[in-house]
Amino acid sequence: MSKRIANQIALALLWTSALTTVAVLFAVILYVVVNGIGQLSLGFIFTWPRGVNAEGGVWPTIVSTLYVTALAMVIVTPIAILAAVYLAEYAVQGRLVSIIRCAADTLASVPSIVMGLFGLALFVEAAHIGFSMLSAALALTFLMLPIVMRTTEEAIRAVPKYIRWGSYGLGATKWQTVRRTVLPAAMPRILTGLILATGRAVGETAVVIYTMGQAINMPVSPLDSGRPMTVHLYLLAMEGINLPAAYGTALLLMIMILGFNLSARYLLRRTRKV
Amino acid sequence: MTRMPAPIVSPTPAAPAPDGPDKITVKGLEFYYGDFHALTDVTVPIKSTAVTAFIGPSGCGKSTFIRCFNRMNDLIPGTRLEGKVTLDGQDIYAPGVDPVDLRRRVGMIFQQPNPFPMSIYDNVAFGPRLHGITKKSELDDLVRDSLDRANLWKEVKDILGRGGLTLSGGQQQRLCIARVLAVQPEVLLMDEPCSAIDPTSVQKIEDLMAVLKESITIIIVTHNMQQAARVSDFTAFFLQEVAGEAAVLVEYDRTTNVFTSPRDKRTEDYITGRFG
Ligand SMILES: Nc1ncnc2c1ncn2[C@@H]1O[C@H](COP(=O)(O)OP(=O)(O)OP(=O)(O)O)[C@@H](O)[C@H]1O
Ligand SMILES: [Mg+2]
């Protein structure tokens, strides 16, 4: 077999595989869009559910989802950044740091339903917080923390050495160097990691189903319970009460997550030019 | 084989600078990276308000040596230094000397231009702000003055708010020079500052060095023999004769002497391009 034919076959294989991936993505998106687009209206987005919560809109579930996500990210962000700065810049690189890193990676791969169960036992019951935004946010924190910490650490490590040298060379202390040059230089990638994590939190179902409750409710205080979009979608579909509304909710969720991912990409691309 | 090296310097070299006092002295310096002995028995003065060039083949420890003057090597784990390095007569490796304070007095320019990812103005104001200057008018003056001394003011005076990384490589390097000048160092270390930039910027940097050396002590590492001959008053030639063994200072003298009548055969071979 000539080299040229081998080359052509390899190319065809690569091309087909790439095409398959893209095709699957578009099939899913198209399916949800076709089935859900008829539902989408300002009324659907901004009104409350009616009847047995199967008719009407989804507004409180959107608020619940955004509420718990925002609360979780407010807790996750500072802890993750401080931990990552410590690991990347201060900790003596050795056994202990490898163990912490390995633990974070393992934690990140715990199935989210296990994390939900843990959140139920720890926050809802043992700590008597009850089904609430706070319980759900804390459980989400457990899920997001290792992910955000690792992406932040990678972002910090990716800052070129000579940027640090420039700062030290001007008589900056270690902390000044970290705060004024390393973190700003790493910020685009840190933010990207945060936004991607936010997208994941928005789509998370297993953790919140155990910790937030299911009652349709407009959360005001962190101790209020509520029903996130993912759980609403699950109930609409599983109980077969209103499939079109389920697709409408699914489409809304996808649009939100897509929005997060695209803004992350935009941010990365824009700041690369500075 | 000719006895006399081909003259590299222009036939009418700049008038030799008067032998000023020593800004820095190095006595019996030994330097180690862990088990690797990088430099041995280096003793050399660095003359005040003059340009001293460090030359030698790749890997002979020029960067290592220049980093000894602002204790940048402290940042590399496992390094060790023996011997004595003084700045204005004061031992900079004595206990109690804070390398952070030392680096304000001894600024450094690296081979790779390394502006911070922030505006041109903020890059230059970075050092002064570190050291507690916050008044806008004072910062404005410092930024303008430093950019001017770095031969960059004319090119950037209308775009001070633009990101430092949007400049060309040569402009970035001059921005880094301005950034260092803004903390008003007494000594400027330049490790191959011109090897990654365009000829116009090289010219501008050589010009500014000629002005700066009136008030600042400059050390430059360069692979470019013509550049060493053009810009420096004194030259130190380093050589690692056997791979894996410590490098030594082979010859130190006025630049004109080193380039026209080197005392050591190895110096002559190097500057005539016979190796390295
Ligand atoms: N961080 C380090 N750890 C261990 N060894 C090092 C380190 N930096 C440099 N060396 C070694 O020290 C010796 C001198 O290196 P140095 O970078 O000072 O040479 P140089 O003269 O600046 O070379 P070049 O002209 O290529 O820049 C080399 O053998 C190098 O491998
Ligand atoms: Mg070097």
What is the per-residue pLDDT across A177-188, written as a single tens digit (0 to 9) for each?
999 999 999 998
Residues recorded for chain B: 276
Please give the mean pLDDT across all residues of chain A.
90
Ligand 1, closest atom to CA B56?
A: 21
CATH 2.170.120.20 fits A42-273, yes or no: no
Cβ–Cβ below 8 Å for A165 and B101: no
* Residue of B108, B112, B166 with shortest CB distance to A169: B108
B74 vs A contacts (CB less than 8 Å): none
Ligand 1, residues at Cβ distance < 6 Å: B 33, 36, 38, 56, 58-64, 76
pLDDT computed for residue B4 by the predictor: 47
**How far does B85 lie from chain A, in Å, by closest CA?**
18
* Residue of A165, A171, A274 with shortest CB distance to B114: A165
Cβ–Cβ below 8 Å for A165 and B108: yes
Give A105-110 contacts, CB < 8 A, sequence gap 24+: A105/A146, A105/A150, A107/A142, A107/A145, A107/A146, A108/A146, A108/A147, A108/A150, A110/A143
Residue whose CA is at the smallest distance from ligand 1 atom 4 = B33
Q: In this predicted structure, which of A137-141, A247-251, A265-269, B190-194 has the lowest mean pLDDT?
A: A265-269
Q: How far apart (Å, rounded) are the C-alpha atoms in residues B44 and A135?
A: 68
Collect all residues with Cβ–Cβ distance below 8 Å to A132 and sequence separation of at least 6. A124, A211, A212, A213, A222, A223, A224, A225
Ligand at minimal distance from the CA of B57 is 1
Asked whether the beta carbons of A157 and A91 are under 8 A apart, the reply is no
- Taking phi over 0 as left and psi of -120 to 50 as alpha, with beta for the rest, B239 belongs to beta
Cβ–Cβ below 8 Å for B183 and A184: no
For B77, name the nearest residue in chain A, comparing CA atoms only: A92
Which of A168, A170, A190 best tests the B interface by mutation, with the highest count of B CBs <10 A? A170
Cβ–Cβ below 8 Å for A170 and B104: yes
Q: Is residue A263 pLDDT above 70, yes or no?
A: yes
pLDDT computed for residue A1 by the predictor: 63
Strand partners, A49: A56
Strand partners, B86: B25, B91
Name residue A82's amino acid.
Answer: L
Helices A243-272, A3-36: axis angle to 10 degrees equals 130
- Residues B199-223 have pLDDT tens digits of 999 999 999 999 999 999 999 999 9
- Residue B60 Cα to ligand 1 midpoint, Å, equals 7
Find the DSSP H helices in chain B. Answer: 62-66, 99-105, 120-130, 136-149, 153-156, 169-181, 199-212, 225-231, 255-260, 265-271
Ligand 1, closest atom to CA B33?
A: 4
- Residues A31-78 have pLDDT tens digits of 999 999 988 888 888 988 887 777 888 999 999 999 999 999 999 999
Residue to mutate, B62, B242, B270, ligand 1, most ligand atoms under 8 Å from C-beta: B62
Q: Looking at the domain assignment, is residue B195 inside a domain?
A: yes
Q: Does B70 touch chain A (CB under 8 A)?
A: yes
Instruction: Supply the pTM of this predicted model.
Output: 0.82
Collect all residues with Cβ–Cβ distance below 8 Å to A76 and sequence separation of at least 6. A140, A141, A144, A145, A148, A197
- Alpha carbon B240 to chain centroid, angstroms: 20
Q: Looking at the domain assignment, is residue B254 inside a domain?
A: yes
pLDDT computed for residue A2 by the predictor: 82
Q: Looking at the domain assignment, is residue B47 inside a domain?
A: yes
Q: How far apart (Å, rounded) are the C-alpha atoms in residues A181 and B117?
A: 8
Chain A positions contacting chain B at CB under 8 Å are 160, 162-163, 165-173, 176, 180-181, 184-185, 271, 273-274
* Residue of B100, B112, B163 with shortest CB distance to A274: B163
Q: Does B76 touch chain A (CB under 8 A)?
A: no
| Strand-pair category, B79-87 with B248-254 | unpaired
Q: How far apart (Å, rounded) are the C-alpha atoms in residues A96 and A80?
A: 18
Specify burial of residue B15 (Cβ count, 10 A radius: 0-12, 13-18, 19+): exposed
- Residue B236 Cα to ligand 1 midpoint, Å, equals 17
Q: Looking at the domain assignment, is residue B251 inside a domain?
A: yes
Residue to mutate, B29, B54, B64, ligand 1, most ligand atoms under 8 Å from C-beta: B64
- Residues A77-132 have pLDDT tens digits of 999 999 999 999 988 878 888 898 899 889 888 999 999 999 999 999 999 999 99
Structure token digits, residue A53: 């919560």
What CATH number did the domain enclosing B100 receive? 3.40.50.300
Domain encompassing residue B153? 22-271
- Residue B18 Cα to ligand 2 midpoint, Å, equals 29
Asked whether the beta carbons of A186 and A163 are under 8 A apart, the reply is no
Q: How many domains does chain B have?
A: 1
Please give the ipTM for the structure prediction: 0.88
Question: End-to-end alpha-carbon separation of chain B, Å?
Answer: 18
Residue whose CA is at the smallest distance from ligand 1 atom 16 = B61
Residue whose CA is at the smallest distance from ligand 1 atom 24 = B58
Element (H, E) at B187: strand B187-191
* Residue of B107, B115, B131 with shortest CB distance to A169: B107
Ligand 1, closest atom to CA B67?
A: 18
Q: How far apart (Å, rounded) are the C-alpha atoms in residues B51 and B187?
A: 10
Percent of chain A at pLDDT exceeding 70: 98
A205 versus B181: which is more confidently predicted? Answer: B181
Indicate the DSSP class of residue B71. T
pLDDT computed for residue A55 by the predictor: 81
Regions of chain B with pLDDT less than 50: 1-7, 9-17, 276
Strand partners, B47: B22
Chain position carrying tokens 């602002």: B70
Asked whether the beta carbons of A144 and A78 are under 8 A apart, the reply is no
Chain position carrying tokens 């410092």: B142
Nearest to A165 by CA among B168, B176, B114: B114
Chain position carrying tokens 């928005």: A202
Name residue B96's amino acid.
Answer: G
